[in-house]
Amino acid sequence: MIKTDILIIGAGPVGLFTVFEAGLMKLKCHLIDALPEAGGQLIEIYPKKPIYDIPGYPAVLAGELVENLMEQAAPFKPGFTLGERAETIDKQPDGQFLVTTQLGVEHLAPVVIIAGGLGSFEPRKPQLENLSDFENKGVYYMVKQPEDFLGKKLLISGGGDSALDWAIYFAEKENTSVTLVHRSDRFRAHKDSVEKAFELQETGRMNVITHGEVSALEGQNNLESVTIQQKEQPDQKVTVDCWLPLFGLSPKLGPIGNWGLAIDKNALVVDNTFDYQTNVPGIFAVGDVNTYPGKLKLILCGFHEATLAVQTAYKIINPDKHFTLKYTTVRGIQGF
């Protein structure tokens, strides 16, 4: 059995920052994550994608941010159970929580902080009969290694930020052909990205097709062409090397949804007036997994939520002690 002060469900950016904040209060942390490595969606989905809203970083690659968070947490020696899903939770007679993974590994802690991001997730897939024949053979639902797509004929479907961001990224690379297809002429992506996409079309770097969608896939062993069905236009067959249907992710809480926690629209309801605690005392939820009035799903907000949750966690773990937070600029990390 693994024993710790705070058990963190989710080793994404918010979970990793929780380790740092807890470490400043001399609390030990252990993290559980179903993914085989720390970093959450930043590592699993878009490690090479730049992030622009982290304070102090005009731009930072998702993978680089994870590396920095790991380095920041390292002095406090967190433990990890990776590649395993937190399956059940049971409150013990002494008030502690026993969390067991699907492989039977038991974890015991007086405080649980759920930082599971969007939970388990699956890409939203288009409804095409032979889609599975070409998955990982020309059809990809995420971009892990951008260099694998350079110099190829790419078709990207979607109207959100991910679709626009990657279309622009690849269109600006030499010898890479990009066609962006969206079923509407209204995009959900940021206005600047939409304007940039049409600017690239005007210069011949990108082909933007609106009111269209992929209706058929063809190829022998790998994807070779797609048929695009467009409103009030004849169908067109396009030769491609890769098709990226970037329609977002379908989030699921997974087993956490069975833990007796208050849920609203697939997110955990928390008290945002104080410490982001759930309806079960001692269990907190921070980051994209939680919800409350005015919630913003930003990494920055998750960092703030984790900081306040740890303050209450300290009081639960040390009810007879008083802790005064000191500035790291005064004491440094080693002073904690």
Residue 240 and residue 183 in one domain? yes
User: Residue 114 falls within a domain, yes or no?
Assistant: yes
Residue 141 and residue 157 in one domain? yes
User: Residue 274 falls within a domain, yes or no?
Assistant: yes
Q: Mind listing the pLDDT tens digit for each residue in 287-305? A: 999 999 999 999 999 999 9
> What are the beta bridge partners of residue 166?
none
What local confidence, expressed as pLDDT, does residue 27 receive? 96
Residue 209 and residue 267 in one domain? no
User: Residue 218 falls within a domain, yes or no?
Assistant: yes
- Kindly tell me if the per-residue pLDDT of 67 is higher than 60: yes
Last residue in a domain, options 198, 213, 247: 247
Measured distance CA(303)–CA(297) in Å, rounded:
11
User: Residue 208 falls within a domain, yes or no?
Assistant: yes
Average pLDDT over residues 212-229: 95
What local confidence, expressed as pLDDT, does residue 28 receive? 97
Residue 136 and residue 188 in one domain? yes
- Kindly tell me if the per-residue pLDDT of 97 is higher than 60: yes
Report the range of poorest mean pLDDT among 186-190, 236-240, 315-319: 186-190
User: Residue 39 falls within a domain, yes or no?
Assistant: yes
Question: Percentage of the chain with pLDDT > 90?
Answer: 76
> What are the beta bridge partners of residue 57?
54
Residue 131 and residue 28 in one domain? no
* Cα–Cα nearest to 138, from 243, 249, 229: 243
In 120-243, alpha helices (H)? 161-171, 191-202
Residue 76 and residue 190 in one domain? no
CATH number (domain holding residue 301):
3.50.50.60
**Radius of gyration over alpha carbons of the chain, in Å?**
23
Last residue in a domain, options 247, 278, 300: 247
Measured distance CA(285)–CA(7) in Å, rounded:
12
- Kindly tell me if the per-residue pLDDT of 286 is higher than 70: yes
pLDDT band at 153 (very low <50, low <70, confident <90, very high): very high
Residue 132 and residue 199 in one domain? yes
- Kindly tell me if the per-residue pLDDT of 332 is higher than 90: no
What local confidence, expressed as pLDDT, does residue 49 receive? 81
User: Residue 336 falls within a domain, yes or no?
Assistant: no
* Number of folded domains that form the chain: 2
Q: Mind listing the pLDDT tens digit for each residue in 310-325? A: 999 999 999 998 876 6
Residue 17 structure tokens: 């920052």
What local confidence, expressed as pLDDT, does residue 242 receive? 97
Q: Mind listing the pLDDT tens digit for each residue in 1-27? A: 999 999 999 999 999 999 999 999 999
Residue 225 and residue 143 in one domain? yes
* Cα–Cα nearest to 178, from 195, 153, 147, 141: 153
Residue 236 structure tokens: 């067109």
Residue 158 and residue 223 in one domain? yes
Residue 109 and residue 255 in one domain? yes
311, exposed or middle or buried, with CB in 10 Å at 0-12, 13-18, 19+? middle
Is the model more confident about 52 or about 90? 90
Question: 153 is in which domain, residue-wise?
Answer: 125-247
Last residue in a domain, options 225, 247, 269: 247
Residue 263 and residue 192 in one domain? no
Residue 48 structure tokens: 């090479």
Average pLDDT over residues 179-190: 93
- Kindly tell me if the per-residue pLDDT of 50 is higher than 90: no
Mean pLDDT of the chain, nearest integer: 91
Average pLDDT over residues 169-190: 94
Report the range of poorest mean pLDDT among 47-51, 98-102, 179-183, 257-261: 47-51
Question: Percentage of the chain with pLDDT > 70?
Answer: 93
Residue 109 and residue 132 in one domain? no
In what helix (H) or strand (E) does residue 310 lie, and over which residues does it extend?
helix 299-317
Q: Mind listing the pLDDT tens digit for each residue in 23-48? A: 999 999 999 998 878 998 887 777 77
Phi/psi-derived region of residue 102, left when phi > 0, alpha when psi is between -120 and 50, beta in every other case: alpha
Measured distance CA(218)–CA(227) in Å, rounded:
8
What local confidence, expressed as pLDDT, does residue 330 receive? 52
